[in-house]
Amino acid sequence: MTIADEITNAFKNFKTFTFNDVRILLSSKQKGISDKTIQVTLSRMVKNERVYKITKGVFSLERRDDIVGFAFAPFYYGGLAALMIRDLIDDQVKIEIMTTRRVKRSFVEVYGGSSVVVVHHIPKRYYFGFEDLKYGDMVVPVSNPEKTLIDLFYYKQRLSLQDYAEVLKSIK
């Protein structure tokens, strides 16, 4: 079995995995494997589309925008993306990820620049108000409507009056 096959088989049940995860996997199976060998193998797998690079050092076996947040854990989907996931707005919007990790840019190119997601750093004291919801075929953390309104005001995002009315109706 090749190194690429070992990586694919080991991480087929994971949403994302990191370079360090691959290093730990391969060092336990093959003594003396170098980081350069792992880097070359992963870059060839990315080139052949056997794995997809989300951000630096984070990979996935599937190319889906809804799993990008797992590369920025701890996180939840918030802002307009939360309203879209909850079917409170009809618009198709960019994925917005709220994370306690420091991010250099708020617009992050993923999958080699073919997709863009919005990543917001949120202070740890504001990291609350989310729940796990089924989105597609997986369960993801999404902010509740009250927290979504707070995040929208915090990041100075605007909604139409109709959308505000929908959000306020969903709050019970």
Mean pLDDT across the stretch 67-84? 94
Predicted TM-score (pTM) of the model is: 0.85
pLDDT reported for residue 163: 86
Residue 91 — very low, low, confident or very high, per pLDDT cuts 50/70/90? confident
For position 153, what pLDDT does the model report? 93
Decide if pLDDT at 60 tops 90. Answer: yes
Query: What is the distance of C-alpha 23 from the center of its chain?
Result: 22
CA dihedral angle for residue 102, residue 105, residue 111, residue 116, rounded to 10 degrees: 120
Domain 3-60 has CATH 1.10.10.10: yes
Q: How many Cβ atoms are within 10 Å of 36's Cβ, its own excluded?
A: 8
The one-letter code for the residue type at 77 is: Y
106 pLDDT band, cuts 50/70/90, is confident
- In this prediction, residue 11 carries a pLDDT of 96
The letter for the amino acid at 106 is S
Average pLDDT for residues 150-165, to the nearest whole number? 89
Helix (H) and strand (E) counts in the chain: 6, 9
Question: Domain locations in the chain?
Answer: 3-60, 65-170
> For 30-134, where are the alpha helices, taking DSSP H only?
35-47, 79-85
- For the stretch 92-102, pLDDT in tens is 889 999 999 99
Per-residue pLDDT, 166: 87
Beta strands (DSSP E) in 31-144 are 52-55, 58-60, 75-77, 96-99, 107-110, 115-121, 130-135, 138-143
Query: Percent of the chain beyond pLDDT 70?
Result: 99
DSSP 8-state assignment for residue 17: E
